[in-house]
Structure 1
Amino acid sequence: MTKPAITFPLLFTLLTFIDVSSTASNVFNVVSFGAKPDGVTDSTAAFLKAWQRACGSASSATVVVPNGTFLLKVITFGGPCKSKITFQVTGTVVAPEDYRTFGNSGYWILFNKVNRFSLVGGTFDARANGFWSCRKSGQNCPPGVRSISFNSAKDVIISGVKSMNSQVSHMTLNGCTNVVVRNVKLVAPGNSPNTDGFHVQLSTGVTFTGSTVQTGDDCVAIGPGTRNFLITKLACGPGHGVSIGSLAKELNEDGVENVTVSSSVFTGSQNGVRIKSWARPSTGFVRNVFFQDLVMKNVENPIIIDQNYCPTHEGCPNEYSGVKISQVTYKNIQGTSATQEAMKLVCSKSSPCTGITLQDIKLIYNKGTPATSLCFNAVGKSLGVIQPTSCLNR
Structure 2
Amino acid sequence: MSPLAIFFFFFFNLSFASNTIYNVQNYGAKSNGKTDSSKAFLSAWGSACASTSVSTIYVPRGIYLIRKAYFNGQTCKRNAISIRIDGTLLAPSDYNVIGNDGNWITFENVNRVSIYGGIFDGQGASLWTCKNSKKNCPEGTTALAFYNSNNIVMNGVTVQNSQMFHILLDGCNNTKLQGVKVLAPGNSPNTDGIHVQSSSGVSIMNSNIGTGDDCISIGPGNSNLWIEGIACGPGHGISIGSLGWESKEQGVQNVTVKTVTFTGTQNGVRVKTWARLSSGFVRHVLFQHIVMSNVQNPIIIDQNYCPNHESCPHQGSGVKISDVTYQDIHGTSATEVAVKLDCSKTNPCSGITLDNVNLSYKNGRAEASCVNAAGRASGFKELTSCL
Same fold judged by TM-score > 0.5? yes
Could you tell me which residue of structure 2 aligns to residue 27 of structure 1? 21
366, 370, 374: which one aligns with 2:369: 374
Q: Distance in 1 between matches of 2:25 and 2:33?
A: 13
- The question of 1:41 aligning with 2:35 is answered yes
Aligned match for 1:60, one of 43, 48, 54 = 54
- Residue 303, structure 1, aligned to residue 299, structure 2: yes
Tell me the TM-score normalized by structure 1.
0.92
Higher RCO (CA < 8 A, seq sep 6+): 1
Kindly provide the amino acid, as one letter, of the partner of residue 120 in structure 1: Y
Partner of 2:280: 284
Which whole-Å CA distance do the structure 1 matches of 2:231 and 2:356 have between them? 21
Q: Please, which of 166, 173, 176 is the counterpart of residue 172 of structure 2?
A: 176
* Equivalence for 1:132: 128
* Matching residue within 148, 154, 160 for 1:164: 160
Q: Which residue does 1:360 correspond to in 2?
A: 356
- Once residues 216 and 352 of structure 2 are traced to their aligned partners in structure 1, the CA distance between those partners, rounded to angstroms, is 22
Counterpart contact for 2:164–2:192, Cα < 8 Å: yes
List runs of 5+ in structure 2 lacking aligned partners.
1-14
**1:60 and 1:322, CA in 2 relative to 1: closer, same or farther beyond 3 A?**
same
Q: Matches of residues 109-258 of structure 1 in structure 2 within 5 Å?
A: 109-258=105-254
Q: Which residue of 1 aligns with 2:267?
A: 271
Residue of structure 2 in register with 1:337 after alignment = 333
Task: Report the equivalent of 2:342.
Answer: 346
My pick for the range that moved more, 374-383 or 200-209, is: 374-383
Q: Which residue of 2 is the match for residue 91 of structure 1?
A: 87
**Percent identical residues:** 51
Unaligned runs of 5+ in 1: 1-20
Residues 364 and 388 of structure 1 are in contact (CA less than 8 Å); yes or no, is this contact kept in structure 2?
Answer: no
Instruction: Check if 1:326 corresponds to 2:322.
Output: yes
Distance in 1 between residues matched to 2:256 and 2:17, nearest whole Å: 33
Q: What is the aligned residue count?
A: 371
State how far apart, in whole Å, the 2-side matches of 1:361 and 1:369 are: 14
Amino acid of the structure 2 residue aligned with 1:379 = A
Give the counterpart letter for 2:24 in structure 1: V
- Alpha carbons of 1:387 and 1:218: their partners in 2 closer, same or farther (altered >3 Å)? farther
Q: Is the 8 A contact 2:359 2:365 kept in 1?
A: no
Aligned 8 A contact 1:156 1:179 in 2: yes
Moved more, 369-378 or 344-353: 369-378
CA distances 1:342-368 after superposition (whole Å, capped 9, x unpaired): 000000000000000010110001x22
- Contact map agreement 2:73 2:108 (CA 8 A) in 1: yes
Q: For residues 206-248 of structure 1, give each alpha carbon's deviation from its aligned partner in whole angstroms, at most 9, with x where no partner exists.
A: 0000000000000000000010000000000110000000001
In the alignment, the residues of structure 1 paired with residue 111 and residue 326 of structure 2 have an alpha-carbon distance, to the nearest angstrom, of 35
For the pair 1:82 / 2:77, whether they are aligned, the reply is yes
Query: What letter matches 2:203 in structure 1?
Result: T
The CA RMSD measured in Å over matched residues stands at 1.3
3-state SS, counterpart of residue 154 of structure 1? coil
Superimposed CA distance per residue, residues 314-353 of structure 1 (whole angstroms, 9 cap, x where no aligned partner): 3324311110000000000010001010000000000000
Whether contact under 8 Å (2:276, 2:314) holds in the other structure is no
Deviations 1:287-312 (A, max 9, x none): 00000011111111110000001123
- For the residues of structure 2 that align with 1:261 and 1:60, how far apart are their CA atoms? 35
Could you say which residue in structure 2 is the equivalent of 1:16?
Answer: none
Taking the aligned partners of 1:321 and 1:381, their CA distance within structure 2 comes to 22
Instruction: Give the match for residue 50 of structure 1.
Output: 44
- AA at the equivalent of 1:372: E
Mapped partners of 2:129, 2:179: distance in 1: 30
Name the CA distance, whole Å, in 2 between partners of 1:269 and 1:22: 46
